[in-house]
C-alpha cells in the first residue's frame, strides 16, 4: 500500500508533519511519500491569479500524488481555530483543477495536534465535516493533545494510552 503523508502546515518545523510521519510509520507494509507544504512555493490563490497564470505546476504535482496514492495520512495544524493558510491555499488551488474533487475519493486518516490541551480539535471537527464534500473518505480521526507533553521528536508518542489508541485506530482501518 502507498501512503501520502501530509503535514497540514507551512511551518518548516511543523509538529503536524512530524506527527503525520510518525502515524504513517505505524502502518505495516506501506510505502510512504511525504508532502512538505513549507517547500512548495505556490502563489496565494485568487481568481485573478488563476486567470493570470493558470494552475501552478506544483499544484498539479500534488493532485497527481493524490490520484496515485492508496491512502492519505493528514495531520492538521490549527491556526485561530481553523486551517493553516499554507494548506488552505494548496487545497483551494487543487479544487480549481477542472472536473476535480480535491481528494479524488481517497480514504484518509485525519488527525491534528497542537501544543494546547485541545490538540487542534476545532480544525479537526471542521475538516471532518467539510472534507467529504471535497472527495475525501474519512476513515478515522485522531487528535493528539498537548504535543510537547505527549510526543518525543525521535521516539514519537510517549503517552502509552494515546499510543495504544492510535495503534488501534490504524489497525481497524479497512480500505475497500
Ligand atoms: C497564528 C497562529 C494561530 C494559532 N492558533 C491556534 C489555535 O487556534 N489552536 C491551537 O491549538 N493552537 C494554535 N496555535 C498554535 C499552533 O498549534 C502551533 O503553532 C503548532 O506548532 C502549529 O502546528 P505546526 O507546527 O504543524 O504548524 C496558533 C499558532 C499561530 C502561529
Query: What is the total count of domains within the chain?
Result: 1
Q: Is residue 61 part of a domain?
A: yes
Q: Is residue 127 part of a domain?
A: yes
Phi, psi of 21 (to 5 degrees): -65, -40
- Tell me how far CA of residue 170 lies from CA of 9, 28, 31, 127, in angstroms: 22, 10, 15, 19
How many CB atoms are located within 10 Å of the residue 87 CB? 23
Ligand 1 atom closest to 10 (CA): 27
- Counting as low any pLDDT under 50, the low residues of the chain are none
pTM (predicted TM-score): 0.98
- Look at residue 166 in the predicted model and tell me its pLDDT: 98
Domain with 78 in it: what CATH number?
A: 3.40.50.360
Q: Is residue 55 part of a domain?
A: yes
- Look at residue 175 in the predicted model and tell me its pLDDT: 84
- Look at residue 58 in the predicted model and tell me its pLDDT: 98
Ligand 1 atom closest to 9 (CA): 27
Closest CA to 37 of 23, 17, 19: 17
Q: What is the pLDDT of residues 102-146, one digit of tens each?
A: 999 999 999 999 999 999 999 999 999 999 999 999 999 999 999
Q: What is the DSSP letter of 29?
A: T
Positive or negative, the CA dihedral 91, 146, 174, 37 is: positive
Q: Is residue 70 part of a domain?
A: yes
Q: Which residues line ligand 1 (CB under 6 A)?
A: 7, 9, 11, 14-16, 77-81, 84, 114-116, 118, 120
Look up the domain containing 115 and give its range: 2-171
Q: Is residue 176 part of a domain?
A: no
Q: Is residue 148 part of a domain?
A: yes
Q: Check if the beta carbon of residue 148 is closer than 8 Å to that of residue 166.
A: no
Cell of 76: 492538521
Cell of 29: 507494509
Q: Is residue 99 part of a domain?
A: yes
How many CB atoms are located within 10 Å of the residue 143 CB? 21
- Look at residue 130 in the predicted model and tell me its pLDDT: 98
Cell of 141: 480521526
Ligand 1 atom closest to 8 (CA): 26
- Look at residue 176 in the predicted model and tell me its pLDDT: 77
Amino acid at each position: 500500500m502507498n501512503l501520502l503523508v501530509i503535514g497540514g502546515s507551512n511551518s518548516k518545523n511543523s509538529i503536524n508533519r512530524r506527527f503525520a510521519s510518525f502515524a504513517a510509520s505505524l502502518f505495516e507494509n506501506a510505502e510512504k511519500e511525504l508532502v512538505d507544504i513549507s517547500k512548495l512555493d505556490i502563489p496565494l490563490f485568487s481568481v485573478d491569479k488563476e486567470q493570470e497564470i493558470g494552475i501552478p505546476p506544483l499544484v498539479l504535482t500534488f493532485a497527481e500524488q493524490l490520484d496515485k496514492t492508496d491512502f492519505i495520512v493528514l495531520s492538521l495544524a490549527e491556526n485561530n481555530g481553523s486551517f493553516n493558510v499554507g494548506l488552505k491555499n494548496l487545497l483551494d488551488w487543487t479544487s480549481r483543477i477542472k472536473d476535480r474533487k480535491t481528494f479524488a475519493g481517497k480514504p484518509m486518516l485525519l488527525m491534528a495536534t497542537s501544543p494546547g490541551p485541545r490538540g487542534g480539535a476545532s480544525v479537526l471537527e471542521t475538516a471532518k465535516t467539510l472534507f467529504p464534500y471535497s472527495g475525501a473518505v474519512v476513515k478515522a480521526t485522531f487528535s493528539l493533545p498537548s504535543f510537547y507533553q505527549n510526543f518525543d521528536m525521535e521516539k514519537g508518542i510517549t503517552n502509552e494510552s494515546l499510543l495504544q489508541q492510535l495503534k488501534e485506530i490504524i489497525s481497524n482501518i479497512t480500505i475497500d
